[in-house]
């Protein structure tokens, strides 16, 4: 059962895309928020007004945490799949060793609640869809492997030291929440890339493979609105018992193909979006769709923004606002 009392929480990586939206939701719910972020991929203006900000890495958590904190929501991580293949050492250092330092700081200060930002990349190539938490976790790249390693680490911490923890395995996060949206550099996610074409910032969108065993031949993915995702994090803080590590998928349960996303962007923006078919990328499964039944059962979570048009429309509004802000500098 959720505890309605305000909490003091540390949000690592709270200047990034998902972390900033979650921090905003926490503040709106009346919680006290400290954001810890080194701004290597996040943005100072992504820290919501009302949050305390400490510039630093997750390894610096011991300098921030004390006995007055109730929980940690952990988003700080390196998250580029391609980069992880070329520089795996960065992912073991930042994601795994960094989280170990965080868990040590939490244990030393008696902070016993953790919500961890995990990923569907822990599953690798799925054997069936929709994917459940009981399916084999066989990651196909160092990024997914590093997140799975952290999940194992958290389980050990829960069993040995009474941590109450939830790992939330995201599928494709999209959309925006007011002033907080997606602006990775480099950008690798489909919806913002297609929006850049609509803005005239790219000539065309590359469709990697149009011969998959799907209705239109392109890959199918499960897109979840970032605000729905944020609401799951707030529910997750109080969900586990001490000594429990709960793992939940987060997705909307619907799959949309690459071509459906492109066509939705054309419809929402009113702009042409040229596309170029390119060869398949290695390791791209034909279909990735989540079963989020455990999150619904254990967290009481229900995604409410499942329409692709609405997801794209919110992302488009943010992209336009961001382009205007950058153009006025």
* Cβ-based neighbours of 76, under 8 Å, separated by 6 or more: 12, 13, 16, 19, 36, 37, 38, 57, 58, 94, 98
Is 48 part of a structural domain of the chain? Answer: yes
CATH number of the domain to which 106 belongs: 3.40.50.720
- Residue 241 lies inside a defined structural domain of this protein: yes
pLDDT per residue, tens digit, the chain (329 aa), is: 456 689 999 999 999 999 999 999 999 999 999 999 999 999 999 999 999 999 999 999 999 999 999 999 999 999 988 899 999 999 999 999 999 999 999 999 999 999 999 999 999 988 889 999 999 999 999 999 999 999 999 999 999 999 999 999 999 999 999 999 999 888 889 999 999 999 999 999 999 999 999 999 999 999 999 999 999 999 999 999 999 999 999 999 889 999 999 999 999 999 999 999 999 987 788 999 999 999 999 999 999 999 999 999 999 999 999 888 876 65
61 touches 69 (CB < 8 A): no
Q: Is residue 27 part of a domain?
A: yes
Residue 119 tokens, joined:
């990923």
Domain-embedded: residue 78: yes
HSE, CB side, 13 Å, CA atoms: give it for residue 235: 20
Active site residues: 143
Q: What is the pLDDT of residue 325?
A: 80
Q: What is the pLDDT of residues 31-53, one digit of tens each?
A: 999 999 999 999 999 999 999 99
217 in a structural domain: no
> What range defines the domain where residue 87 resides?
8-176+224-251+289-304
- Round to whole Å and give the CA distance between 139 and 122: 5
Half-sphere exposure for 140 (CA within 13 Å, toward CB): 11
* pLDDT score of 2: 59
For Cα atoms 22, 171, 53, give the angle at the middle one, nearest 5 degrees.
Answer: 25
Cβ atoms within 10 A of the Cβ of 164, count?
20
Bridge partners (DSSP) listed for residue 317: none
CB 157 within 8 A of CB 107: yes
Stated pTM of the model: 0.95
pLDDT score at 328: 61
Assigned domain for 207 exists: no
Cα 255 from Cα 289, distance rounded (Å): 6
Decide if 281 contacts 210 (C-beta within 8 A): no
Residue with tokens 């073991």, as numbered in its chain: 92
Mapped onto helix, strand or coil, the DSSP state of residue 253 is coil
User: What total of structural domains would you count in the chain?
Assistant: 1
271 falls within a domain: no
Question: Is 159 a domain residue?
Answer: yes
pLDDT for the residue 324 = 85
Helix, strand, coil percentages, rounded to 5, for the chain: 40, 20, 40
């Amino acid at each position: 059962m959720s505890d309605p009392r305000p909490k003091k929480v540390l949000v690592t990586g709270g200047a990034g895309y998902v972390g900033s939206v979650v921090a905003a939701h926490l503040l709106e719910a009346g919680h006290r928020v400290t954001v810890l972020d080194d701004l290597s991929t996040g943005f100072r203006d992504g820290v919501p007004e009302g949050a305390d900000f400490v510039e630093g890495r997750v390894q610096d958590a011991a300098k921030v945490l004390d006995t007055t904190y109730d929980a940690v929501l952990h988003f700080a991580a390196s998250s580029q799949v391609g980069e992880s293949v070329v520089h795996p050492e960065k992912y073991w250092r930042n994601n795994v060793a960094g989280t170990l330092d965080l868990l040590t700081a939490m244990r030393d200060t008696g902070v016993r609640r953790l919500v961890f930002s995990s990923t569907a990349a822990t599953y690798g190539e799925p054997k069936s869809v929709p994917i459940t938490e009981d399916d084999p976790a066989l990651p196909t790249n160092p990024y997914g492997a590093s997140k799975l390693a952290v999940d194992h680490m958290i389980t050990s911490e829960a069993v040995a030291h009474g941590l109450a923890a939830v790992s939330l395995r995201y599928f494709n996060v999209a959309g925006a929440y007011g002033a907080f949206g997606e602006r990775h550099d480099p950008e690798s996610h489909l919806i913002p890339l297609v929006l850049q074409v609509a803005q005239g910032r790219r000539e065309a969108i590359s469709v990697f493979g149009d011969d998959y065993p799907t209705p239109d031949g392109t890959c199918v993915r499960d897109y979840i609105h970032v605000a729905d995702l944020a609401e799951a994090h707030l529910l997750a803080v109080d969900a586990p018992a001490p000594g429990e590590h709960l793992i939940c998928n987060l997705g909307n349960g619907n799959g949309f193909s690459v071509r459906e996303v492109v066509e939705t962007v054309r419809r929402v923006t009113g702009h042409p979006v040229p596309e170029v078919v390119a060869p398949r990328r290695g390791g791209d499964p034909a279909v990735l769709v989540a079963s989020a039944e455990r999150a619904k059962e254990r967290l009481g979570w229900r995604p409410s923004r499942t329409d692709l048009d609405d997801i794209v429309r919110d992302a488009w509004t943010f992209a336009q606002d961001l382009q205007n802000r950058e153009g006025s500098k």
